[in-house]
Amino acid sequence: MYVDVPIELLQMNPFTAIGNDGFLITAGNSEKFNTMTASWGSMGVLWGRNILTLYVRGSRYTHQFLEQGEGFTVSFFPPDMKDRLLWCGQHSGRDHDKITETGLTVSSLVGPDGSERVTFNQASLVFSCTKAAALPLAKEAFLLPKIDSFYQDGDFHTMYIGFIDSILSNQ
């Protein structure tokens, strides 16, 4: 059962939760959605709102769902779920039913605009976000040459900035 977590009471280290533990980005609705594992992102304040920033390559199946939808979820899991996150990061939703193959259980949330968002019952912490901006990253924007090594194949990320509508803890 999820309970709202006021932002002032949030206790997580974003550097380890994002960079080490990883999370699932999910976009779409319960009838058609995709989820992917990520370990790049950030949290902060922008435009007077609490935000979560994601980076998703254009080749990823989840990218099209992020482009089409108004919102998304970011779901963090307990350590014993690491194998399922790894599996979701190694397989495309174009070719696999990630839910069936990982045993994840879908849970629906309602965004402030009434749209449905998808997360999973096994998630320990969920951020439900409204998409505020989508900014394609381009080689010309990189100031340090070593960043180019992340894009040798030309598959650049889109940066998605989402307003955090709610934070939910699974109790």
* Residue 25 scores a pLDDT above 90: yes
Using left for φ > 0, alpha for ψ between -120 and 50, and beta otherwise, residue 106 falls in beta
pLDDT at 121: 96
Under a CB-based contact definition with an 8 Å cutoff, are residues 168 and 7 in contact? no
pLDDT at 80: 93
Q: What's the distance, CA 158 to chain centroid? A: 13
User: pLDDT tens digit string along 64-99?
Assistant: 999 999 999 999 999 999 999 999 999 999 999 999
- At the topology level, CATH places domain 2-170 in Pnp Oxidase; Chain A (2.30.110)
Please state the domain extents for the chain: 2-170
* Residue 1 scores a pLDDT above 90: no
User: pLDDT tens digit string along 110-166?
Assistant: 999 999 999 999 999 999 999 999 999 999 999 999 999 999 999 999 999 999 999
User: pLDDT tens digit string along 38-65?
Assistant: 999 999 999 999 999 999 999 999 999 9
Q: Partners of 167 in the beta sheet?
A: 127
Task: Show the CA angle centred on residue 60, arms to residues 153 and 87, nearest 5°.
Answer: 105
* Residue 171 scores a pLDDT above 80: no
pLDDT at 82: 93
